[in-house]
Amino acid sequence: MKFKFTGYTDFFDKGIEIFGRMLAFEISSDGIAVALEQRPGALEVSFSNNSGCIRFDRKIHLYRGLGLLIENLRKGSSFHIVEQPQFDMDGVMVDVSRNAVLKTENIKQLLEKMAVMGLDTLMLYTEDTYKVDGLPYFGYMRGSYSYEELKECDDYADIFGIEVIPCIQTLAHIDQALKWNFAKDIKDTEDILLVGSQQTYEFLEKLIQAITKPFRSKKIHLGMDEAHFLGLGKYLDKHGYRRRFDIMSEHLQRVTGITDKYGLEPMIWSDMYFRLGSKTGDYYDMNAVIPEDVPGKIPANLSLVYWDYYHNDEASYLRLIKSNKQLKQDIIFAGGIWAWNGICVNYGKTFVTTNAAMSACKKEGVRKVIATIWGDNGAETNIFSALLGLQLFAEHGYNPQIDMDKLYERFEFCTGGNVQAFLDISLINQAPGAAGIFHDVANPPKYILWQDILMGLFDKHLEGLDLQTYYSKLESKFINYASASGQWRFIFQMLHKLCTVLSLKSSIGIELKAAYDSGDKKHLGIIAADSLPKLYNSIDELRAAHREQWFHTYKPFGWEILDIRYGGLLARVNTAQFRINEFLKGSIASIEELEEERLWFDNSEMPEGKGLGHCNLYHRIISASPLG
């Protein structure tokens, strides 16, 4: 496809070269004439009589418009598309602090996908994964970004009109830095900074200077969420008990004093105001009481970010947006693409929560939204498997209501991915037997994969469910997706290997316990000689596929944690085989682990009685004993 653009400015030159490679077109004097017109208002893309036109307001709208033009030209007819941007900010926050630190080339790839979708903001959530002069242990061995790397990403984003906003932590969630001895005098508890200490603010000024220097944006996210034990550690010893609203307000004033010094526009998460006002510490407590004097102590130039990706109904978001508005600050909404739920993206929960939340934001006039992609508990889920969630946020950003067919078509155009393949990732979580109030976030792949064969902490929940057949069918499905997914093969190859392991491992502990209890030594021998070696090899293949996926996407730092998890899993399969053989030889009179009764996993997110629920903590899954 060839184009001849008229009316554009110099800022389009670099972007057009990149988009030409992405979308397979070139500039030519004999190409289709396309007029570009920058003016305030809606995005308009039209084509008729062998010529096209893109009318746009902001640079990012031009790139979405160019994508719409090419997508619809491929359908071969005249068209006139009008889209009204719904938000002044519509972007994504990427977690690069939970071990998975995106390579800069993959940040660029993400920016390209965002540009054609029309997403205008990238937030990089860095707790300690950026370098700070004079603090060599800050982010040590964690894959920290250098100034040059961050500057390179910001320059690339600017080509498309995408704003990169640094996101750090300036109160809690900073335990990976505070664990080093250099921080002993600036911490209140293991993960909360010591408020009021001059050393703390000298430390924070260094962080703020370092993280803002590479970026054009004057915006900065300061974090300050989930500081549950604020003022209850060393601070309590030094100052006695104080109203925690006052501690929070004083700290915020000190930190925003630093951001004011550098001409920055700060934002923080809003949850601490509601947690401190709740008798139960619940962010979403509708009975939370915020003292009348507190809103007046919030700096006027501070934006509050209301994060919520749990509620399934629009009414809850409407109520909570109104509660946030009572703090009388600019409100930013942060939804979520459920990539932190174990090993697989949960698109069911993502779509339900996002559709409800975006509808509420539009009704309440919230003009700034972001999609968070967290990497809890080891970042086992690859970020690129979450691309369909980005498309969902993008389509909400340009339409009062979304058309699912259009969303799916746009996804396949913008990413080159098969929409059904991405949707079917959720099937790995949606195994038969999900139950209880946590059924929509059930994540059986996580605990089936990591639980110990001899201990079987979750086997009581798996009994009677034919998960072996279920995952065998998915295994066939995902091997086909892997072979047909082109650039996204690395996503589906790993998931294919995962389904293979799940099909074997979902029943093997139950089978082992039943054979032992019935005294069926012949069956025990088959398990030891055949089933466990087969499982061992399948796990090792999964580990290799997961490793390929990781090194394709992220820096090497952090993979060692997953390597250790896989290594431990392989070692325990080997030990299970050893224990069975020792028993069959008569070297031991019993296998004590199999003598133990299997109980329900006693956790609030696992259903009482038979059924599958949610557990996303590796250390709880693998053993009833502590890791250290």
Indicate the number of domains in the chain: 3
Report the 3 state secondary structure along 44-87.
EEEEECCEEEEEECCHHHHHHHHHHHHHHHCCCCCEEEEECCCC
Same domain assignment for residues 58 and 128: no
Tell me the two tokens of residue 191: 């993960």
Q: Quote the CA–CA distance of 610 and 621 in Å, as a whole number.
A: 17
Q: Quote the CA–CA distance of 63 and 12 in Å, as a whole number.
A: 9
Q: What sign for the dihedral angle of Cα 200, 205, 210, 214?
A: positive
Same domain assignment for residues 222 and 201: yes
Which CATH number is 30's domain given?
3.30.160.230
How far does the chain reach from its first CA to its final CA, in angstroms? 61
CA torsion, points 74, 75, 76, 79, in degrees to nearest 10? Answer: -110
Range(s) of the domain holding residue 68: 2-83
Q: Quote the CA–CA distance of 274 and 226 in Å, as a whole number.
A: 11
Domain boundary among 416, 450, 466: 416
Same domain assignment for residues 130 and 246: yes
Same domain assignment for residues 224 and 270: yes
Q: Quote the CA–CA distance of 196 and 254 in Å, as a whole number.
A: 8
Does a structural domain hold residue 172? yes
Does a structural domain hold residue 340? yes
Beta sheet of 26-27, edge-to-edge order? 26-27, 2-6, 32-38, 51-56, 43-48, 79-83
Does a structural domain hold residue 312? yes
Residue with tokens 């501070």: 302
Residue 147: per-residue pLDDT? 98
Which CATH number is 137's domain given?
3.20.20.80
Q: Left if phi > 0, otherwise alpha if psi is -120 to 50, otherwise beta: which for 45?
A: beta
Same domain assignment for residues 97 and 200: yes
Does a structural domain hold residue 205? yes
Same domain assignment for residues 234 and 324: yes
Residues whose CB is less than 8 angstroms from the CB of residue 51 and which lie 6 or more positions away in sequence, other chains included: 32, 33, 34, 35
Tell me the two tokens of residue 102: 């995106």
Same domain assignment for residues 406 and 480: no
Residue 628: per-residue pLDDT? 84
Same domain assignment for residues 269 and 332: yes
Same domain assignment for residues 407 and 494: no
HSE (side-chain half, CA atoms, 13 Å) at 302 = 26
The candidate with the shortest Cα–Cα distance to 309, out of 115, 440, 429, is 440
Domain boundary among 65, 83, 101: 83
Question: Is-contact 301 262, C-beta < 8 A?
Answer: no
Residues whose CB is less than 8 angstroms from the CB of residue 218 and which lie 6 or more positions away in sequence, other chains included: 263, 264, 265
Same domain assignment for residues 521 and 411: no
Does a structural domain hold residue 627? no
Does a structural domain hold residue 75? yes
Same domain assignment for residues 249 and 283: yes
Domain boundary among 16, 49, 83: 83
Which CATH number is 449's domain given?
1.20.120.670
With a cut of 50, list the residues of the chain below it in pLDDT.
none
Residue 13: per-residue pLDDT? 83
Does a structural domain hold residue 214? yes
Does a structural domain hold residue 551? yes
Same domain assignment for residues 409 and 478: no
The candidate with the shortest Cα–Cα distance to 495, out of 517, 474, 509, 523, is 474
